[in-house]
Amino acid sequence: MTAPRRVVDGTHVEVAVVGGGQAGLSISWHLTRQRIDHVVLERDTIAHDWIDRRWDAFTLVTPNWQCALPGFAYDGDDPDGFMGRDEVHAWIRRYADSFDAPVVENVLVTRLRDAATGGFEVVTDQGTIRADQVVVATGGYHRPVLPAVAAGVSSDIVQVHSADYRSPGAMPEGGVLVVGSGQSGAQIAEDLHLAGRRVHLALGSAPRCARFYRGRDCIAWLSDMGVYDIPVQAQVGGLTKRESTNHYMTGRDGGRDIDLRAFALEGMQLHGRLTAADGTALTFSPTAEASLDHADSVMESIKTDIDRYIEREGLDAPTEARYTPVWRPETEVTGLDLRDAGITSIVWSAGFRSDYSWVQIGVFDGAGHPTHQRGTTTTPGLHFLGLPWLHTWGSGRFEAVARDAAHVADSIAARAGRSPLPEEAVVPG
């Protein structure tokens, strides 16, 4: 790449993009295509989160055919498979190289503020640049969250966040408690379980989805049904949908369901929500069965929607029996002593908190989330990209990031007085 290695203090650009992951690179592709002068500022290295915050056995949950960034679709030999962590990282790096994205790596943006003469000042640890417009493409998952209950756990117990979990072998010998049953928690519990570790899992309210149903990947069905394209404003609950938890499944070994009940039959210990910790003594609410039933009910409701779609469209698809629970807890364990259970470590899969403290412009709600309309804020020239549910459920997936980037790029071009380019160069959604 021929991108500049450092920020030159006092430089002026038409657009500054903060964040060098898939979202920042997607908008950069469009800006490059429209010949809009810009720079992409990345605090670490391109797409580093895919390496730094994923475990060794991580795979995508979405199939490879959904991996399509602007001008750069998946070109491997396994479109129905699921790329692993290192493959995704390498693919995004190749994307940046494919159009010589103007990325400055290892530069930290410390403040974004209005410039006295119009536009914005982007203050970095290498100097300050002026920009007519800014795209914040840092995603929404900035700071790992440890719940308050973690402070009550004995210092003898090793505690890691899911962002720092790497492999079963990297954990201390002994049993492991995983707290949280969202996508990361369920997959990490599976990773430990498959390695023969003694696993306890504290369940939350996350739903699940079957990997395959009636002859196809469920994501393929839902994609054809347009589920991933419904704007967040049209969802039940509207913008509150942005707080929802994704369904758990896995792309491991070609893709499969994660059936926690089956893991329980094989020895995994399932608990309700963790509510208190005093040294090595933990307290759980008696909600394990309710959590499992809820996850299954969501999975079955998705299958019902697929059935209706198949019937409505007159499609020829094999029939399939519905899921029957293979295990139920005989009793709910509400108290557990970590030492007595042989548990030496805890993996907290409690999510992340956004941190925009460096953005000194009033475009945030009371919870610190940016307010925007499909990425464009009420501050002229300030945009956000790469957020979950930025516009649709699909906004967290590669191909919808591509659509969102095209929309934001059009807004940028219009504000810059550029004529729209022909649609044939835009990645279809």
Give the residue from 316, 348, 380 where a domain finishes.
348
Domain stops at, among 310, 333, 348: 348
Domain count, the chain: 2
pLDDT at position 235 is: 66
Residue 173 lies in a domain: yes
Assess whether 327 and 359 both reside in one domain.
no
Domain co-membership, 292 together with 304: yes
3-class SS at 275?
strand
DSSP secondary structure of 308-370: HHHHHHT------PPP------SS---EEEHHHHTEEEEEE---EE---TTB-SS-B-TTSPB
Tell me which amino acid residue 48 is: H
Task: Using DSSP, state whether 409 is helix, strand or coil.
Answer: helix
β-bridge pairing 281-284 and 274-278? antiparallel
Domain-located, residue 325: yes
* Final residue belonging to a domain, choices 318, 348, 378: 348
What is d(CA 425, CA 319) in angstroms, rounded to the nearest whole number? Answer: 40
Domain range enclosing 36: 12-142+354-425
Average pLDDT, consecutive stretches of 10 residues, N- to C-terminus, the chain (429 residues): 68 97 97 96 96 97 96 95 98 97 97 95 97 96 93 98 98 98 96 98 96 98 92 67 77 96 98 98 98 97 98 98 96 96 97 93 91 94 92 84 94 88 47
**Residues 158, 302: one domain?**
yes
Separation between Cα atoms, residue 87 and residue 327, nearest integer Å: 36
Please report, for residues 46, 160, 216, the alpha-carbon distance to residue 166 in angstroms, rounded to integers and kept in the order given: 20, 10, 31
Task: Enumerate helices (H) and strands (E) in the chain, giving the number of each.
Answer: 9, 21
Are residue 20 and residue 166 in the same domain, yes or no? Answer: no
Q: Do 132 and 153 fall into the same domain?
A: no
Instruction: For residue 117, give the CATH number of its domain.
Output: 3.50.50.60
The reply to whether 138 falls in a domain is yes
Give 378's DSSP letter. S
Residue 427: what pLDDT?
Answer: 39
Reduced to 3 states, what is the DSSP secondary structure of residue 411?
A: helix
Residue 318 sits in the same domain as residue 382: no
DSSP element (H, E) containing 93? helix 85-98
Determine the pLDDT at residue 3.
Answer: 41
In a domain? residue 2: no
